[in-house]
Amino acid sequence: MKILCVSLGCDKNLVDTEMMLGLLNRDGYTFTDDENEADVILINTCCFINDAKEESVNTILEMAELKKKGRCRALIVTGCMAQRYKEEIMQEIPEVDGILGTSTYDEISNVLKKALSGEEHISCFHELTALPDVKAKRLVTTGGHYAFLKIAEGCDKYCTYCIIPSLRGPYRSVPMERLIEQARELTEQGVRELILVAQETTLWISTGRRCFPSF
């Protein structure tokens, strides 16, 4: 079973994509860059600015058309656009089989399994206070020498010009133990440079500490 994955948006979204790829790889799926070979199409969307929203919509429509004409058996949409426009996507693009929010990417295997079994219009959303903990080796897509390490999720600022809190929820730090485990797994894959990313990296905190220990 071959999967085509399209990851849109920022480096934090790419981390989520790589987490999902790791879960799918663990479950025996393989991957392709050829849309005509894909049995499953997974789109991790963005909608932070209008151009990003337009790119996401166009990508979903393009892949929906491909599903109607090609061998694709399941079209899954995740990410920020899925979080914000879940009802509109399911109502206006019936080719979409499953949709996941920004805090449920760890459910990708379950949603895909349901879609491939014939279940339609699968919706998977948790509270935006959730922080998914993926128990699978992340599949790095940045070439192998560097990778992004997401140290926190969400934002508490609620700026009038920004929708991130409504898409990603409140700011919550990834526990240090989890970060160290992820960093070690990435270095074992050959990664030599870790780029720390978050909506605001300076706010990371764990048990009162704001600094990173050596490891």
Residue 195 lies in a domain: no
Asked if residue 211 has pLDDT above 60, the reply is no
> In 3-state terms, what secondary structure has residue 79?
strand
Asked if residue 123 has pLDDT above 50, the reply is yes
Q: What is the CATH number of the domain that holds 61?
A: 3.40.50.12160
Residue 102 lies in a domain: yes
Residue 105 lies in a domain: yes
pLDDT category at 209 given cuts 50, 70, 90 is very low
For 103, the domain range is: 2-124
Q: What is the mean pLDDT of the chain?
A: 93
Residue 145 lies in a domain: no
User: What average pLDDT does the segment 88-106 reach?
Assistant: 96
pLDDT, tens digit, 9 for 90 and up, residues 108-119:
999 999 999 999
Hey, what are 69's tokens? 């004409």
pLDDT, tens digit, 9 for 90 and up, residues 5-40:
999 999 999 999 999 999 999 999 999 999 999 999
Across the chain, the runs of DSSP E, i.e. the strands, are 2-7, 30-31, 40-45, 74-79, 98-100, 122-124, 146-150, 152-153, 172-173, 193-197
Residue 72 lies in a domain: yes
Q: What is the pTM of this model?
A: 0.92
Residue 87 lies in a domain: yes
Parallel, antiparallel or unpaired: strands 172-173 and 152-153: antiparallel
**Is residue 60 within 8 Å of 34, Cβ to Cβ?**
no
Domains contained in the chain, number: 1
Candidates 13, 166, 17, 10; CA nearest to 84 is: 166
Q: What is the pLDDT of residue 192?
A: 96
